[in-house]
Structure 1
Amino acid sequence: MTLPWDFAPLHGERVTLDLLRPDDLEPLYAMQSDPDVCRYLLYEARSREKVVEVLARDAAATRLAEVGDYLQPAIRDEHGRFVGTMYFHLTSVDDRTAEIGWILAPHAQGNGYASEAARLLLALGFDTLGLHRVYAELDPRNEASVALCRRLGMRHESAILEHMWLKGEWTDTGGYGILEREWAARRSPAG
């Protein structure tokens, strides 16, 4: 594995992954305070004060070096506007494993931004860092995230029924994953 890795913006065709910055507060707050956006997340809609705290914490996450390190970059569209965030968490160095996640602002959904942003992080993970496996854990009722996992070539790996008590109900957890060889096959001309 190639560590440490210090954050540098990742550029795609239409999106850029860049560090969160102070001027992202308003769109980040709009997204994280929206109950519909937070419906399938591990937290309730957040207060402005909480988003200020989260912005400062996540903007400072700039290095992947050891287990527990994470990135939470902003997704910016082709005009540089904030449209969401990605999540990339180094969960094992020995096993070369990371977790991926995403949140997209409602106005930006359905435009392929999350797919492109996730592919940028998968390329970073597999092609630059030398990861063996990247996985996502999500509420299986979140059909948009399930569909995104499938578009990325992630396999359905697990279904844990009534896994946690969350927001007043028992919720399931779905697991999706992709291995480095599966990523390489998708990127090859024959894949």
Structure 2
Amino acid sequence: MTQVPTLQPDYPIRTERLLLRPLADADIDALLSYRSRPEVCRFVPFEPMSRETIRERLATKWANTGLSDEGQELTLGVESAATGALLGDAVLFWHSRIHAGGEIGCIMHPDAGGHGYATEAMRALLRMGFEDLGLHRIVARIDERNTASAAVARRLGMRQEARLVHNEFFKGEWSTELDFALLDHEWPSTR
């Protein structure tokens, strides 16, 4: 019988400047401060969130503290280790057991932009996906207009594999998607 991979991190996950940890009810105001903004939600697959939506997500989708099977997602708060402020949140999706595939993404408070926090948080998720969960391939799917997120993917060493022109009717208009990927054997050289 083959061993089934699982991911149950020991929290908080520490990086040079950040702590990644499960989100909690105490984070509602901080989450609302950026997830309620139209400009923050412009390129992501959800609308600006209300306090009630955030509460519901904390009780359901964001309640996972690990990954035990495909189809699950792990959303973690990205906290400044120096100040304790919630800077954003990051997600690791486990898409396929057979294909050992996953996806990463993040959303940051605008005040935290331009400091490399998203890159640092995404690097931690790549490490977890490849080294702890044993994924073979991790992707990032980004709206082409989201140049900041595309730059993060490139800084992580992810390869742009596709540009899907007008592939989705997204928030009232056609969007072009950039697909980035990294393979497990490429991971050591990008760290």
Shorter-chain TM-score: what band?
A: over 0.9
- Asked if residue 36 in structure 1 is aligned to residue 32 in structure 2, the reply is no
**Cα distance in 2 for residues equivalent to 1:7 and 1:53:** 23
Identity %: 37
Alignment match of 1:82 (pick from 83, 86, 92):
86
- Asked if residue 73 in structure 1 is aligned to residue 76 in structure 2, the reply is yes
TM-score by length of 2: 0.93
Alignment match of 1:181 (pick from 178, 185, 188):
185
**Cα distance in 2 for residues equivalent to 1:69 and 1:173:** 23
**Cα distance in 1 for residues equivalent to 2:94 and 2:49:** 25
Q: Runs of 4 or more off by more than 6 Å in structure 1?
A: none
Query: Which residue does the alignment assign to 1:150?
Result: 154
Asked whether the 8 Å contact 2:166–2:175 carries over to 1, the reply is yes
Q: How does 1:87-126 map to 2 (within 5 A)?
A: 87-126=91-130
Alignment match of 1:17 (pick from 20, 25, 28):
20
**Cα distance in 2 for residues equivalent to 1:186 and 1:51:** 34
**Aligned-pair CA distance for 1:2:** 5.9
**Cα distance in 1 for residues equivalent to 2:185 and 2:9:** 25
- Greater mean alpha carbon deviation, residues 83-92 or residues 57-66: 57-66
Q: Deviations over 1:111-136 (max 9, x none)?
A: 11111111111111112222111101
**Cα distance in 2 for residues equivalent to 1:53 and 1:75:** 20
**Cα distance in 1 for residues equivalent to 2:121 and 2:53:** 25
Query: Which residue does the alignment assign to 2:65?
Result: 62
Q: Secondary structure, in 3 states, of the residue corresponding to 2:145? A: coil
Q: Deviations over 1:6-61 (max 9, x none)?
A: 24321101001100011100010111110110011112212221122122223311
**Cα distance in 2 for residues equivalent to 1:57 and 1:149:** 28
Asked whether the 8 Å contact 2:19–2:79 carries over to 1, the reply is yes
Q: Secondary structure, in 3 states, of the residue corresponding to 1:5? A: coil
**Cα distance in 2 for residues equivalent to 1:17 and 1:2:** 24
Query: Which residue does the alignment assign to 1:46?
Result: 49
**Cα distance in 1 for residues equivalent to 2:16 and 2:48:** 31
**Cα distance in 1 for residues equivalent to 2:137 and 2:105:** 14
Query: Which residue does the alignment assign to 1:6?
Result: 8
* Number of aligned residue pairs: 187
Where does structure 2 lack aligned partners over 5 or more consecutive residues?
none
Q: Over aligned residues, Cα RMSD in angstroms?
A: 1.4
**Cα distance in 2 for residues equivalent to 1:148 and 1:67:** 25
